[in-house]
Structures are given as C-alpha cells and as structure tokens.
Chain A
Amino acid sequence: MPITQKEGEEDVIEISDLQGGYSDCQVLHGISLKVPEGCITTIIGPNGCGKSTLLKTIARYLPAFSGSICCNGKDIAQYSRKEFARIVSILPQWREAPFITVERLVLYGRFPHLSFARKITERDAEICRQAMMDTGTLNMREKDIRELSGGERQRVYLAMTLAQDSEYLLLDEPTTYLDIAQKYEIMELICRICATGKSIVMTLHDLPLAFAYSDRVAVMEGGRICCCGTPQAVLESGTVDRVFSVESHCVNVAGNMEYVFLPAYSKG
C-alpha cells in the first residue's frame, strides 16, 4: 500500500485491522488506514463497498467487531460520548429535516459542550454565529430548514457540524442531491474549513470532485482498502481504473489539471 507522507504531517486517526458492519452482516474486512492531520482524506469506492459503514464506525455510530480505531493516540472506545463528540463530528447522509429554524439547528451543534444545566451561553452563540458566517448561512438564520434548497440545507448542516467545534469532521457524501454549482460550492467550503486547521474525512461518489479536492484518496473495494495515497499516486497505481471499470485521464483545461473518467469500454 503506497502511503506517501508529506513532511511534518502527523497521523491523527489510525485505523488498524478493523472489522465491522451491522449485527447481521459484516461489511468491513480488515481496514487499515491512517488519516493525516489538517488534510482532506476522501474515501471512494463503488456502491456497497462499505465507505459509509467505515465512516459510521469511525464516528462510533456502529460498533467495531475487532481491530482498533485510535484518535489522537487513544482508542475511540475509551472516550466518553461527550468527549468524543467534542473531538469528532459527523455529517450523516440521511437526516431528518425537522421543523425548526436554521439558527436553532446550528445551536444543537453545541449539545456536547453544554453543561448539565444545558443553558446556551454567549460563547456558544458566538461560536454558532461564526459557524454560520463561515458557511454563508447567517442571512437565512430565521428561515425554516424545510424552506431551504438542497445546497442551502447542506451548508446549514455543515454549520451545525462546525458549531460542534471538533478537530475532525466526518462527512458522508456531502454532495449528494446537489446540482453541479452547489457541489462546487460545498467542496470549496470544505476546503476553506480544512484550511482553518481541521482534518476532514469524507466519502464521495463523484470521482472528479474527489480527485480535485482531496489531499489523500483511499479506494475501497469489498470492505477493504485497496489503495491509499495522494490523488496523483492513486491514479498512477491504476486501482481506480480497475475498481470502477473506468479509464482515467488527466487533462489540461485552461492551465488547470482536470481529472476525467471515461467508461473502460469507450474505446471498444
């Protein structure tokens, strides 16, 4: 497994030989993965390969059968729920859209930080305001969640995840159901969030987006990680072509390198 480490980076989430899944079916068959600090790590793979399951297991939503996940050098099972929620936040793919205002939703991000009295302080409000500013949702804060478009809603949920003020963000398919402009908008936003020093692990369906915006790409197939490294290294290894049955090309478009994936049978 070619892992090229950038200078001065530290691995902060370390997964070793992880087996996991649902009670009646094992999905993850020995995952080992290191997530470096301050980077965007993207997990790609065909449908049903276990990307979301892996993310949910890292988020402690699903239990690990065996193996370990360490976060900042400590096994995640040893954190209390609240402690863990202050370090790692997750943006699930499937969510309820409750009948509440944007502001209210973002305030829920402070839940793991609230004391027993659960009173929202000025500091909590300030952090939420900042999160809404960063995601460009401040102007819609009195709107109802259900009135928003898909892209706006995604930004609002990102704001909630940001308000959680954790070092790590796990994003499960942050671009599903978005149109192309909204997709780019969300990816740019994720990059800006990463630039503030947060580490991001996400799953993506969209290969060009994954390769354009990630520092690290991990390819999953059948519950295993078959390749992991910089986008360039992963592409050169040919794993993507094999796993997705595509042909990848690097094309120069107006001075930028863009990734294009064509069906493998296109040449006949």
Chain B
Amino acid sequence: MSTLPKSYIRTQRNRLALLPVLAGLLLLSASAGVLFGSTEINFAEAIKGIFSGELSSSDTRILLYVRLPRVCATLLSGCALALSGVMLQAVLNNPLASPNVIGVNAGAGFFTFLVISLFPAAVTWLPIAAFFGAVAACMIIYGIASRTGASKVTLVLAGIAISSIFTAGINAIKTFFPDTLYNGSSFLIGGFSGVSFKNLFPAYLFILPAATASFFMARQLDVLCLGDETASGLGMNVTAVRMILIILACVLAGAAVSFSGLVSFVGLIVPHICRGIIGTEHKFLLPASCLSGGIFMTVCDLISRVLFAPYEVPVGILLSLVGGPFFICLLLRKRGRRT
C-alpha cells in the first residue's frame, strides 16, 4: 500500500496537469502574436515567400523581420522576468521583491544606457552590460540586506533608493548625450518595437542556460523559504545557494532588460498570480511562472500593437495599466480572506 497520502498525490497531479495547459496557451498567444499586428498581412503569401526564398514581398518581410523577432522577444523577456521575480522573492524572503522593485532593472538599464552612449557599435555587449548593472544593483541590495538583518521593509525601501539612483543616472546620460539613443524614452517605459534577431541573439545565450539552471534549484528554493536558520539546519549551504540564485536572477533580468527596456511589473505580478493558483512549491511555480510570464508579455504586446493601430502604445504602459489594478485586486482579495 502506498504511504504517500492520496491528497498529496492528487494535488501533485492537478498541478502537473496545469503546466501543459499553460504551454498550450503560450503557443496560442505566440501564434496570435505572429498572425496579428498593426498591418494585416497575407499569411499564406508570406509563408510561401519564406519557403521559396523570395524575401522581397512586404508580407514576408513583415513576418520575418518584424513579427517573428517581436514574438520571440516578448516570450523571452516575459519568461526571464517572471523567473527572476520568483527567485528574488525567495532569496530576499520578500513577496514584494521583483527585478524592478529592488532596482535590478534600473541598474541593468543604466549600464545598458552607459554602454550604448559610449560605444554605440557594441550591440552584442549590451546583455553583458545589462547583466553587470543587474549584478551591481543586486549586490548593493544584498549587502544592505545582510547588514541590516534583511527586514522586508528595509529591502524594499533600499530598492526604491537604488532604483532612483540608477534612474537618475539614466536621465543624466539622456541629458548629456541626447543623440545617442533615438528611442531613449521608450527604453525607460519598456517596449519591443524595433527589436531584431540581431539584438535578441546574445540575450538568448544568457537567458536559456540561466532559465534551465533555475529549474534545478526548485528544491533549494523551497527550503530557503523556510528561513535561513531552518534551511541551514536542514543541511543547506544558505550563503552559496543564495549567491547562485541571485546571479541567476540577475542574468535573467539583465538580459531581458538589454533588449526590452525597463519593462515593469511582470516580475512582480506573474509569480504572485501563479503562487495563488499553483501553490508555493517551486517545482511547479518556476515552470508555471515562466510560461505565464511569456503568455502575459506576448498578449500585452499584441494588444499594444493592435489597440490603436497603426499607432502603438508602448507595452510598458499597458503592462502597468493592466498589472497595477490587477495587483491591487489581488491584495484586496488576500486581505479579505485573512480577516
């Protein structure tokens, strides 16, 4: 007779069943992202064009150089930011932590700005610059956390301070080198217009391995959430695990920021929503957040493209407009349940 209790097995199965559903939704949203856009294209013609090697028709070009890279970018950054959020929330033991709240996004953005204004040709190096920016912000946060005893409020406050410092840096660069970034303000809001495979490729090199590695940290993340002392008592090297997780989260957030700009909120809300649906077990939470992040970003980007076509609302605005109220609802519901 199995001693694993039925309830345990049942919930495990239910949760496992949710992942293929999410994967299906991801495919659906990705194909919608490719099919629809500000201009209507003849999809059959476009595909025919690709297969025949005839790339001159505008339909084919839109599909190949606009839609596809764009959907790849939204999927990639959505997945990366959500994963990064899950890990940062566990590492800092704070449900409010996320790449943009604790300043990691701003750090990555600042370094990206710095590099792009000093070396405009160094597109390939942008993810690396963003990564170092993210690491810099994270190290400052981590330093403050370990010095002050990592109170949840202190961390968020410190994050706000760091965020504003880096944002000030970005604005300074914008003021002193006004010509360097033609889309400087869209970088600050976050968006995917003008993304190409060329500036996506290096980010892929960073995000794919980091995302894969993060899935292997699921059990460690679970144990880390029990608190440092308990985790250490269970035989975990807390400092080392924390370092690894911070680095992974920085790579993910940094690489995403390097091509999508300072997209906010995804890293905060998506993990929260997923936690509410699938529970706190990271074995499920990580893949679920990753998939949902991709879905959320792709759908928001699609809406931003078609809503006022041919004009485009920067996706960052949409994310905040959708994400903000949604998050408030979530908080209100949670509070209602507890009291």
Contact = CB atoms under 8 A, between A and B. Distances in A.
How many interface residues does chain B have, given as a range?
20 to 34
A92 B8 contact: no
Contacts of A141: 5, 7
Interface SS, B side: loop
B44 interface: no
B5 A92 contact: no
Contacts of B225: 96, 98
A98 B7 contact: no
A228 to B, nearest CB: 24
B222 to A, nearest CB: 7
A122 B4 contact: yes
Interface string A79-102: 001111110011110111011100
Interface string B261-286: 00000000000000100011100000
A96 B229 CA distance: 10
Contacts of A81: 235-237
Contact of B226 (A56, A83, A96): A96
A56 B7 CA distance: 36
Nearest to A86: B235
A118 interface: yes
Nearest to B228: A61
B223 interface: yes
Contacts of A30: none
Given A92-B229, A122-B2, A99 B280 contact: yes
Given A100-B281, A111-B219, A142-B7, A95 B230 contact: yes
Contacts of B151: none
A19 B225 CA distance: 30
A147 to B, nearest CB: 10
Interface centre among B227, B233, B279 (most CB of A within 10 A): B233
Nearest to A112: B235
A104 interface: yes
A99 B93 CA distance: 12
B3 interface: yes
Contact of B232 (A59, A108, A109): A59
Given A82-B235, A122-B4, A94 B223 contact: no
B3 A126 contact: yes
Contacts of A135: none
B322 interface: no
A189 interface: no
A100 B280 contact: yes
Contact of A84 (B219, B235, B280): B235
A104 B232 contact: no
B8 to A, nearest CB: 6
B234 interface: yes
Nearest to A80: B235
A59 B226 CA distance: 16
A114 interface: yes
A7 B226 CA distance: 40
B223 A108 contact: yes
B227 A94 contact: yes
Interface string A104-127: 110011011010001010100110
Contacts of A221: none
A109 to B, nearest CB: 7
A112 B234 CA distance: 6
A100 B235 contact: no
Contacts of A90: 229-230, 233
A126 B8 CA distance: 13
Contacts of B234: 85, 89, 108-109, 111-112, 164
Interface in B123-152: none
Given A95-B226, A118-B219, A103 B233 contact: no
Contacts of B8: 103
A60 B235 CA distance: 10
Interface string A189-221: 000000000000000000000000000000000
Contacts of A125: 3-5
Given A84-B235, A89-B233, A111-B219, A104 B227 contact: no
B280 A98 contact: yes
Contacts of B223: 108, 111
A86 B236 CA distance: 12
B279 A100 contact: yes
B233 A59 contact: yes
Nearest to A119: B219
A125 B5 CA distance: 8
Contact of B222 (A94, A95, A103, A108): A108
A155 interface: no
Interface of A: 56, 59-61, 81-86, 89-92, 94-96, 98-100, 103-105, 108-109, 111-112, 114, 118, 120, 122, 125-126, 129, 141-142, 161, 164
Given A108-B234, A125-B5, 19 more contacts: A56-B229, A61-B229, A81-B236, A82-B235, A85-B235, A90-B230, A91-B233, A92-B229, A92-B230, A95-B229, A96-B226, A96-B230, A103-B8, A105-B226, A109-B234, A111-B236, A112-B234, A114-B219, A120-B4
Interface of B: 2-5, 7-8, 93, 219, 222-223, 225-230, 232-237, 275, 279-281
15 contacts: A56-B229, A59-B232, A84-B235, A85-B233, A89-B233, A96-B93, A96-B226, A100-B280, A103-B5, A103-B7, A108-B234, A111-B235, A120-B4, A125-B5, A142-B7
